[in-house]
Structure 1
């Protein structure tokens, strides 16, 4: 075999080895790209599922909240009107019920929300959680006072709750109109933060499409 032929043979083998190396590299890169693409697609689907679920819950909560809030606002306004007019309106037990669980948002975030959701959406979600927690704390405080001061004395005469001379609530019962008004404020704060979060979620979903 001539020197030229031998060199050509070595070059051919080297070229084949390079070609194989390139093919392996391209194959590995393609597999990596495909896996990365599929992962991003799964994350996008998961993100949209979380956002869609939140959007549905918020819409339902905002709508039902408007009805409840309107009723509570009327009750608070009517009591305040009658109180200011010296009518000594009846005092009723203060009751506040909710199906909110502190673990709801935590569960959502632990299921992947922290990694998948936009930072601004997470901030709005945390703000809603804060409003709920503080509001429920206030409601629990007023309900406890009601259970201790009002409920055991519902069979008492109106003079037990009011000073007949001034027609004002006795000092220990002055928390009652405050409780009614705090409940209305809580409802308004909830509506505001839920609406802001809903807008943020809709914006994020639109941006992901």
Structure 2
């Protein structure tokens, strides 16, 4: 989760710092407005679904001591819906637009004295593979920039333009052109990157290994 629109959300994080009040039990519970815990999610979900098919938004809640987290969406009637959080602190289940518009809270339960930081990222929706159509990747990059512009609010004004897709843990790769010739993909922080504007005419991208999680890249070289 390392693209240019991955921001530490200080305001939201401060809202979920669990206080160190002296209590007898081993866990503490705090209720946080869902809009604060998931900033920009409502704006993202308001973008028509067909315009964001290839983009998703991801939220990661991390604790300094890697304390396990339990999160539950609580609506105005008291209805409760567990929100899954994986071992990396990433929410694997998020509220729907209708749920967010009802202004629910999120009940966070964690070990006593836990303190958290929250990050959000816009991510490409791509399978892990060793071969991709260059046209598909170019479309994902274009859609990502459009969606970030529409849903990112004031942060989008400061975000660099996404220039390509990076492939963590793939080690190396090549762009394949229509005439059969190939060109090595450049590396960014050790990851091969496909930048459509720099490899015009490419028809496929082939990687040495499947990537762990393809991500956006905003660097120009």
TM-score range, shorter chain: under 0.3
Instruction: Flag the structure with higher strand content.
Output: 2
Structure with the greater relative contact order (CA < 8 A, sep ≥ 6): 1 or 2? 1
Greater Cα radius of gyration, structure 1 or 2:
1
Instruction: Flag the structure with higher helix content.
Output: 1
TM-score, normalised to structure 2's length? 0.25
